[in-house]
């Protein structure tokens, strides 16, 4: 029997029919709301347009947290570089992905005669400005988010790296915080948890100025996916293992439907998950390409 994929990073094997004479006749549906958010679409379209005209383009970090989509763009001429690589570049063209960048990146580009093709998501740029304004007003800023996430690194940099980043209230030293704090969120986090954290901070005696800065294209997906997962016998959730948004949305589907399986590639789908006539839903993160979900749908329909 084949091994299923989970978030620990275990790899599934190529799916084959347990019985070649068995037809599963699965009823397969792709969630209409899944796939790239507008910020990712914007960044990828900019990259594709530039690559078609010039054949080569540097990108600062993975353009999207999905390895198969990154590989597709690499074949077109996209080259992924790190921030250390950026320091050594001269007279080059570099794409800034949707996550945004700290001020230091723009300074390096100016110093090294680098042309930046800025595909920062407008939602992220607006959040950067709001955090910078709060910092200029001497507010103590808390950011609910993942410390090593590219977006959060850029957000914290707007405060001279003085903002406190956390994923859970238990990580905070409440006694060391001032009475008044300003709370922001990484754009792809859970809206429900953001409001829960706000109440926890208030219950601890703090005055909290809470700014719900979660992207609505992401937050609205929570209830939509709950309904979608509930309507199907089995759910195949498709996302890159590095996707923070994917991790969160997969968890939501799994809460509603225990028969939810996480995959990054078609070969990780295990036919043993299904039985004859199952109604199967395919959904994904805001970093999941539509073509990948379509490939998995065709594979399942061929079982």
**Is position 276 within any domain?**
yes
- pLDDT in the model for residue 13: 43
Provide the whole-model pTM. 0.82
Residues 51 and 100 in one domain: yes
End-to-end CA distance of the chain, in Å? Answer: 16
Cα separation, 294 vs 20, whole angstroms: 23
- pLDDT in the model for residue 265: 94
Cβ 36 vs Cβ 290: under 8 Å: yes
Mind listing the pLDDT tens digit for each residue in 250-260? 999 999 999 99
- pLDDT in the model for residue 22: 60
Domain region containing 159? 123-214
Q: Is the pLDDT of residue 49 over 90?
A: yes
Q: What is the CATH number of the domain that holds 51?
A: 3.40.50.11270
CA 132 to centroid of chain Cα atoms:
23
Of 120, 147, 181, which residue constitutes the final position of a domain? 120
Mind listing the pLDDT tens digit for each residue in 218-250? 778 888 999 999 999 999 999 999 888 898 899
**Is position 142 within any domain?**
yes
Residue 49 known to be catalytic: no
Residue of 69, 101, 151, 268 marked active site: 151
Of 57, 89, 120, which residue constitutes the final position of a domain? 120
- pLDDT in the model for residue 23: 82
Mind listing the pLDDT tens digit for each residue in 173-203? 999 999 999 999 999 888 889 999 999 999 9
**Is position 10 within any domain?**
no
> Residue 111, by phi and psi: left (phi above 0), alpha (psi -120 to 50) or beta?
alpha
């Amino acid at each position: 029997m084949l091994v299923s994929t989970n978030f620990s990073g275990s790899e599934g094997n190529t799916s084959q029919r347990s019985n070649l004479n068995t037809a599963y006749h699965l009823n397969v549906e792709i969630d209409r709301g899944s796939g790239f958010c507008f910020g990712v679409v914007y960044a990828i379209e900019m990259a594709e347009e530039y690559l078609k005209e010039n054949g080569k383009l540097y990108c600062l970090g993975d353009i999207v947290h999905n390895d198969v989509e990154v590989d597709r763009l690499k074949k077109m001429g996209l080259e992924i570089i790190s921030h250390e690589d950026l320091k050594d570049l001269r007279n080059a063209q570099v794409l800034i992905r949707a996550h945004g960048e700290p001020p230091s990146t723009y300074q390096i580009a100016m110093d090294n005669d680098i042309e930046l093709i800025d595909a920062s998501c407008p939602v992220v740029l607006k959040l950067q400005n709001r955090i910078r304004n709060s910092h200029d007003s001497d507010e103590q800023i808390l950011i609910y988010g993942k410390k090593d996430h590219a977006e959060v690194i850029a957000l914290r940099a707007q405060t001279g790296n003085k903002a406190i980043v956390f994923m859970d209230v238990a990580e905070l030293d409440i006694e060391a915080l001032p009475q008044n704090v300003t709370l922001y969120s990484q754009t792809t986090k859970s809206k429900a948890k953001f409001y829960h954290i706000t109440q926890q901070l208030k219950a601890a005696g703090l005055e909290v100025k809470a700014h719900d800065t979660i992207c609505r294209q992401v937050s609205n997906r929570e209830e939509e996916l709950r309904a979608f997962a509930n309507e199907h016998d089995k759910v195949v959730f498709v996302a890159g293992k590095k996707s923070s948004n994917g991790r969160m949305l997969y968890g939501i589907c799994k809460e509603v439907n225990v028969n939810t399986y996480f995959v990054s590639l078609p070969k990780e789908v295990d036919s043993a998950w299904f039985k004859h006539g199952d109604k199967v839903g395919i959904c994904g993160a805001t970093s999941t390409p539509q073509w990948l979900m379509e490939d998995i749908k065709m594979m399942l329909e061929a079982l």
